[in-house]
Structure 1
Amino acid sequence: MPQGKIIKALSGFYYVLGEEGTVQCRGRGVFRKNKVTPLVGDEVVYQAENKTDGYIMEVKDRKNELVRPPIANVDQAILVFSAVEPEFSTALLDRFLVLVEYNQIRPLICITKVDLLDDGLTKLERYAEDYRNAGYEVIFTSSETEEGLKELSPYIEGKISVFAGQSGVGKSSLLNALRPELALKTSGISHHLGRGKHTTRHVELIKIGNHGLVADTPGFSSLEFTEIEPAELNYCFPDFARLSEDCKFRECLHISEPKCAVKAAVEEGKLPEYRYQHYKDFLQEIKDRKPRY
């Protein structure tokens, strides 16, 4: 039987890209019985008599999967954050980074709408330097002026990428700039609500360049650490994880333990204090989480 990749899921149908093009499929009942839900990005075995009447017979093992957005086998997450409208937030960026790190997906930080800045990039460049020092790659882009698009394109080639970020940051606008014929629906932020309007209603893999696939995902502004345990949070901050090798205690949580290398680095100005504050906030949130049964 042929194999392919799910590139779109909509209204109970799965659109599978195989050697002979895209086939519209349904999931077999066995998936519901075994509590397996096919996801965009899944490699599957399917059976089809024609282009519109196929069935997914098997879902191959996944290397990773996300819940929000629901997608599997992602190579990298392009975290799209706007310079303004909505305002750039390190707290929200760190929240995204923790979840991406936990799922072992490589992140790329993309700060867009830089053409709207009145006072230049000075403050954002300081933030960018902090995140680069933490081990992340950061690029500045603008869908209007096309700044940074040539720099972004090589990251996308040959990979499955997920564009993720808060609603209204310009993910769809950025995809339109990369591939104008897409004409994806876009919308700015609601000034009454102070947040973006949802313009993407489903997850779909879109071809960008010669061999790149990008998922334009529904925007969202709240993310919960439902799976992460307190001892795991350290490893979701790679700059902290590197320093923690010099902590006195192997399972140091970097809060009240003596001879903590992370706390020392913060006091010496080697780690940004705001990153450490976010870590403490996230750790408390995880500790306060209701136990799962």
Structure 2
Amino acid sequence: MPEGKIIKALSGFYYVANGDEVIQCRGRGVFRKNKITPLVGDHVVFQAENKDEGYVLEVKERKNELVRPPIANVDQAILVFSAVQPGFSTHLLDRFLTLIEHNHIRPIICISKIDLLDEEEEAEIAKYVEYYQSIGYDVLLTSANEEESVQKVIPYLENQITVFAGQSGVGKSSLLNALRPELELKTNDISSHLGRGKHTTRHVELIEIGNGLVADTPGFSSLDFIGIEAEDLSFCFPEIREYSVNCKFRGCLHVAEPKCAVKEAVESGEIKKYRYDHYLTFLEEIKDRKPRY
């Protein structure tokens, strides 16, 4: 049986790439029975009489999967956050980073619209860039209007399956259009009333850019921490993970425990207080989560 990769899912059809061919497939009923939903990025076994009438028979084991956006086998996530319009949100960025870290996907931070910054705003963004880089993240500064900054993204895409994700209206589609103009992905201006953009991407699709595959994904209205337990959360913050090995108590949650190396690092400024505050907020959210039955 032939095998391929799902590169698009739309209206009950799965578009499976096999070499230079793309075959339109439906899922067999066995998937519904076993509660398996094929996802973009899945490596699948299929059968087809022609390019328009195929069936997905088997979904191979996944190395990871995301719920929103619904995609599997992702190598890395480029998290696009605008410097302005809408304003840069470390809280929302840290939510994204937590989810991506938990799924063992490499995160890359991309701050867009840097051409719109004034000097004061530029200095403020530079402080955040310096800190995120210091804890191990790659940070890219881009503007869809500046070709040189866009070109910096391309080497990161080589031979990878990459998710582009972030808040609506931050310029994901504009950046992808700059990387591959013939895509002509729809973009919308920011609503002056809401301060955020309308969702312009309606489905997940893998697109060839250079020697890599890139997913443009629907915008996110919210992110929750389903599947992340309280004791897992510190592992999603690189600097907290690093200092936690020196805590007195094993399983320290870095809240009220004595001789906590993480709290000491926050007090000394080695861990930024805003990151620790976000950690505490997320921890409370996880603890208050209603059990799922």
Q: Normalised by the size of structure 2, how large is the TM-score?
A: 0.98
Query: Where does structure 2 lack aligned partners over 5 or more consecutive residues?
Result: none
The corresponding residue for 1:152 is: 153
* Residues 121-146 of structure 1: CA deviation (Å, up to 9, x unaligned): 21111001111111111010000122
CA distance, structure 2, for counterparts of residue 188 and residue 70 of structure 1: 25
* Residues 258-285 of structure 1: CA deviation (Å, up to 9, x unaligned): 1111111110011110000000000011
The corresponding residue for 1:36 is: 36
* Residues 229-272 of structure 1: CA deviation (Å, up to 9, x unaligned): 10000101111101100000110100111111111111001111
Which range is displaced more, 144-153 or 217-226? Answer: 144-153
Counterparts of 1:136-175 in structure 2, within 5 Å, are 136-175=137-176
1:147 deviation in Å?
4.1
Counterparts of 1:117-266 in structure 2, within 5 Å, are 117-119=117-119, 121-209=122-210, 211-266=211-266
SS at match of 2:154: helix
CA distance, structure 2, for counterparts of residue 278 and residue 221 of structure 1: 18
SS at match of 1:62: coil
The corresponding residue for 2:23 is: 23
* Residues 75-132 of structure 1: CA deviation (Å, up to 9, x unaligned): 0000000000110000000000000001010000000010111225211110011111
The runs of at least 4 consecutive aligned structure 1 residues that moved more than 6 Å come to none
The corresponding residue for 1:69 is: 69
The corresponding residue for 2:93 is: 93
CA distance, structure 2, for counterparts of residue 164 and residue 83 of structure 1: 15
SS at match of 2:109: strand
CA distance, structure 1, for counterparts of residue 70 and residue 203 of structure 2: 9
CA distance, structure 2, for counterparts of residue 28 and residue 20 of structure 1: 24
1:148 deviation in Å?
2.0
Which range is displaced more, 117-126 or 159-168? Answer: 117-126
CA distance, structure 2, for counterparts of residue 219 and residue 109 of structure 1: 16
CA distance, structure 1, for counterparts of residue 148 and residue 249 of structure 2: 46
Share of identical aligned residues, percent? 70
1:10 deviation in Å?
0.2
CA RMSD across the alignment? 0.9
SS at match of 1:97: helix
CA distance, structure 1, for counterparts of residue 189 and residue 85 of structure 2: 8
1:65 deviation in Å?
0.1
SS at match of 2:263: helix
CA distance, structure 2, for counterparts of residue 54 and residue 175 of structure 1: 30
* Residues 197-230 of structure 1: CA deviation (Å, up to 9, x unaligned): 0000000000001x21000000013101121110
1:20 deviation in Å?
4.5
SS at match of 2:41: coil
CA distance, structure 2, for counterparts of residue 225 and residue 253 of structure 1: 17
* Residues 148-204 of structure 1: CA deviation (Å, up to 9, x unaligned): 222211101100000000000010000000011111111121111121100000000
Query: Where does structure 1 lack aligned partners over 5 or more consecutive residues?
Result: none
Asked if structure 2 preserves the Cα contact closer than 8 Å seen for 1:62 and 1:73, the reply is yes
SS at match of 1:173: helix
The corresponding residue for 2:103 is: 103
Asked if structure 1 preserves the Cα contact closer than 8 Å seen for 2:151 and 2:179, the reply is no
CA distance, structure 2, for counterparts of residue 78 and residue 44 of structure 1: 25
SS at match of 1:15: strand
